[in-house]
Structure 1
Amino acid sequence: MAQSPWNTRFETILRQGLPGLGKDEAPAADVPMEAYGLDSMALIGIVSALESAYGVSLAGQVTIPVRTLTAGHLWGIVSAALRPDWDAGRPSPAGGTTRGPAPWIMA
């Protein structure tokens, strides 16, 4: 069995929000979480739990449609939010400069 790219805390939160994920089954990094029962309401709960658990704000960062969002996408967003330069590339409320959109944002 391959090791997950994320930590146990992240997987625990996913398990709480993915009703279709079997007890002994690990979420695959590249399978849309919709296959495990993810819907928009469950995603709100997962994002809220991740923000609380990791002390980060993910507001406006999960822009991938629910039907194609994978655990790997979500872990990438959380991992980026944990980096010290998380806010450096985004516009500030005071109108500061930006280095462009974050790489995980999909149009």
Structure 2
Amino acid sequence: MAHAPWNAKFETVLRQGLPGLGKDKEPAADVPMDAYGLDSMALIGIISGLERAFRTSLAGQVVIPVHALTAGQLWGILSAALQPAWDQEWPSAASHRTRDLSPWAVA
């Protein structure tokens, strides 16, 4: 069996929310989690747990139907949420206040 692509913190939260996933079973990355007892209420609990554990927001990110969602997909969604947003606009230099700074502070 291949090693799971996620870390231990993710798996801990996953196990807490999946009643059908016993301590002796490893969640498969490509098996729909409804096979482990996932329903909409359990998914809310898992997402809340992941948001707390990883200090991020997954609001609007999980758009896969509950009956088809896999642990691998959920890990991918979480991983994407944790990545820096390289496409965010940075404030322009004109918006920075530089008038009151010494020339050595303006680079």
The structure number with the bigger radius of gyration is 2
Q: 1:65 to 1:86 in 2, by over 3 A?
A: farther
Residue 63 of structure 2: aligned partner: 63
Q: 1:87 to 1:49 in 2, by over 3 A?
A: farther
Gaps of 5+ in 1: 89-107
Question: Which one-letter code corresponds to 2:80 in the other structure?
Answer: A
1:1-37 CA deviation, whole Å, 9 max, x = no partner? 3211000000000000000012111100000000000
CA RMSD between the two structures:
1.6
Cα deviation for residue 43 of structure 1 reads 0.2
Identity %: 75
Query: Any conservation in 2 of the 1:80–1:86 contact (CA below 8 Å)?
Result: no
TM-score (norm 2): 0.79
Counterpart Cα distance in 2 of 1:68 and 1:22:
20
Where has structure 1 moved over 6 Å in runs of 4 or more? none
1:30-82 CA deviation, whole Å, 9 max, x = no partner? 00000000000000000000001001100010000000000001000000011
